[in-house]
Amino acid sequence: MQRISLLSPRLANQIAAGEVVERPASVVKELLENSLDAGASQLDIDVEQGGVRRIKIRDNGTGIMKDDLALALSRHATSKIITLDDLEAVRTLGFRGEALASISSVSRMHLTSQAEDESDAWRVEAEGKDMAAAIRPASHPQGTTIEVRDLFFNTPARRKFLRTEKTEFTHLEEVVKRLALSRYDTGFRLSHNGKQVYDLRPVTDQLHAEHRLASLLGKKFIENSLTLDVEAAGLRLWGWIGLPTFSRSQADLQYFFVNGRVVKDKLVAHAVRQAYRDVLYNGRHPTFVLYLELDPSTVDVNVHPTKHEVRFRDGRLVHDFLFSRIHKAIADVRPESDAAPVGAGQESGPYESNITEQSALPLANRPAGGQDWMRPSSSVVDSASVRGQLEGMRSLSGYAQNYAATVEQVDPETGEIREVASPQLNSSEASSSFVEGGEYQKVPPLGFAIAQLHGVYIISESEQGLILVDMHAAHERIVYERMKTAFYQKNIASQPLLVPINISVSQSEADLVEESSHVFEAFGFRVERTGLESVMVREVPVILIRGDVEGLVRDVISDLSANGVSDLLEARANELMASMSCHGAVRANRKLTIAEMNSLLRDMEVTERSGQCNHGRPTWAHMSMSDLDKLFLRGR
């Protein structure tokens, strides 16, 4: 072993750079965060060769005073925290005081700045082995410009790990995109190799914020998203969540911000995934841009060198808040009669079509005045035809008999599987809101059925144009939602096990079961600790009695250990009910009367998540009159 000695300042900074500076994108992130903390309202980013050769960032912030410039390039020097109390309630993006020193140790960097209270500008750079700061006069308006050249020129081993110019710029562009999404009040200009990529002006209202989102994430995201703004328990969640049918094959359109800081957090991911669980097609990922605001003292941002992760003081509260609000927003999606067509459904998915999915209208795009389904005098629906359809809708007994189907269900008393009639569709109450004194009053969102196509699709005529409904998928969702309501309203019947199941676990897992008994009890399980490293399952819900009880309990324990919460019991019960409802739904090639079709449409209008079947597929699509006119070249 060699004798203990102090590292040179340059070597210490280069070691620190290993944590902070991974690639050009890391440099841009640190520098832009400093500019935003300095109150900049305009940021200009100019890069060459993906940022490897040159990165130049200019801001109009408060600048750095001459006397502070030498410290600016030193390690552990910052203006953002002074005491431990400051660290426990960080309100700035940067605060560690390592970025500039680390960057300057692996590149040729110089910083030019003029503070708002000074008349002259100054330039500083670190020189020599000891990285002594050299300061000289310069010409510069208020604000700061930092130029970084030849990244990793003196650490060739690190440079070898860099990817192609295109790949490095893609990472760099993503950093700019995230910060532009976090600060709408700031303008961003990004140029690469002399070519402008973004020119985003500061915005202060909803409309221009959505324009920025469309520029960064694509117009389809705005067209296929719902706005959200809710508050509870000192938490505020706002932003945009994509419709379930606007899902993606990978989780690349998911942005979550905590007090303006972009983070990737497993607790957040779990809450969002749970909220979308019932409506996403297998293997698909939801899209969202969400902002969580809470007291800075209740979240620790100092748990990761790059500050990508955070830790919440009350993670359970945050998880439940996120899940409940997003889940409710998705559940409240209903057909809207005054909706203009939104963009096509899934991107890169199996259900792309020229017909636009219309399970909901983005809230930001809805016209003022709310839902008004009053029929205009110029309606294209024939009144005589409508009266005939409504007369048929009043007699639903034949519909209920024709729609009856059998499905295997578990008897809540005995636990035996038996065939029972599936939940029936009955929309007399929903339909009556459109009829008064036998006369037609309102046009419902999904219009009125006019035909059935090949025993699979219902063709409906609405005020806006044509609607196609997949009758099996729609009925499947209706039956499923009714089964869930009945299941949970009965407080979930349980059955004692004749032979209790003993499960060997670790001591920490046994502790967790003891602390989380309410999680199991909520779904009809009674799981008790029987030893230092053992638990016993004494009761299980009737609906899950024939499943792999031990495997399910172990999975729940693992989920609780990893996330602090678990939805596996609910997920398993819902999977079984979804399967039952699929078998109980009306099958393709089943001929329906006009009255039956209209009753199904009315049920869809009052059923939660009716825009998707249990597997996440869309249940209906819409073509407006303008879409049809374009298709047939009318008006040209």
* Chain segment 24-61, per-residue pLDDT in tens: 999 999 999 999 999 999 999 999 999 999 999 999 99
Share of the chain above pLDDT 70, in %: 80
List the single range of 120-134, 437-451, 504-518, 529-543 with lowest mean pLDDT. Answer: 437-451
Which tens digits make up the pLDDT trace of 399-419? 233 333 444 444 444 444 344
How does residue 170 score in pLDDT terms, banded at 50, 70 and 90? very high
Which tens digits make up the pLDDT trace of 259-294? 999 988 888 999 999 999 888 877 889 999 999 999
pLDDT computed for residue 356 by the predictor: 36
Assigned token pair, 393: 């809708």
Mean pLDDT of 309-330: 91
The whole-model pTM stands at: 0.73
Which tens digits make up the pLDDT trace of 445-468? 999 999 999 989 999 999 889 999
pLDDT computed for residue 344 by the predictor: 36
Identify which has the larger pLDDT, 15 or 153. Answer: 153
pLDDT computed for residue 238 by the predictor: 96
With contact defined as beta carbons under 8 Å apart, do 491 and 503 qualify? no
Of the CA atoms within 13 Å of residue 383, those in its CB half-sphere come to 11
pLDDT computed for residue 433 by the predictor: 45
How does residue 336 score in pLDDT terms, banded at 50, 70 and 90? low
* pLDDT above 90: residue 583: no
Which tens digits make up the pLDDT trace of 1-14? 678 888 887 777 77
300 burial via Cβ count (<10 Å: 0-12, 13-18, 19+): middle
Cα gap 275→280, rounded to integer Å: 10
List the single range of 147-161, 251-265, 324-338, 614-628 with lowest mean pLDDT. Answer: 324-338
Q: What is the per-residue DSSP string for 68-99?
A: HHHHHTSTT--SS--SHHHHTT--SS--SS-H
Q: Which of 41, 73, 32, 58 is nearest to 114 (CA)?
A: 58
Of the CA atoms within 13 Å of residue 252, those in its CB half-sphere come to 11
Cα gap 406→404, rounded to integer Å: 7
Q: Which domains does the chain have, with CATH numbers?
A: 9-195 (3.30.565.10), 218-331 (3.30.230.10), 369-487+589-631 (3.30.1540.20), 493-580 (3.30.1370.100)
Assigned token pair, 186: 């700031």
The whole-chain average pLDDT of the chain stands at 80
List the single range of 170-179, 238-247, 353-362 with lowest mean pLDDT. Answer: 353-362
Mean pLDDT of 580-597: 82
CA distances from 181 to 59, 188, 241 (A): 18, 10, 14
Identify which has the larger pLDDT, 361 or 534. Answer: 534
Assigned token pair, 303: 């748990």
Which tens digits make up the pLDDT trace of 371-402? 222 222 222 333 333 333 333 333 222 323 33
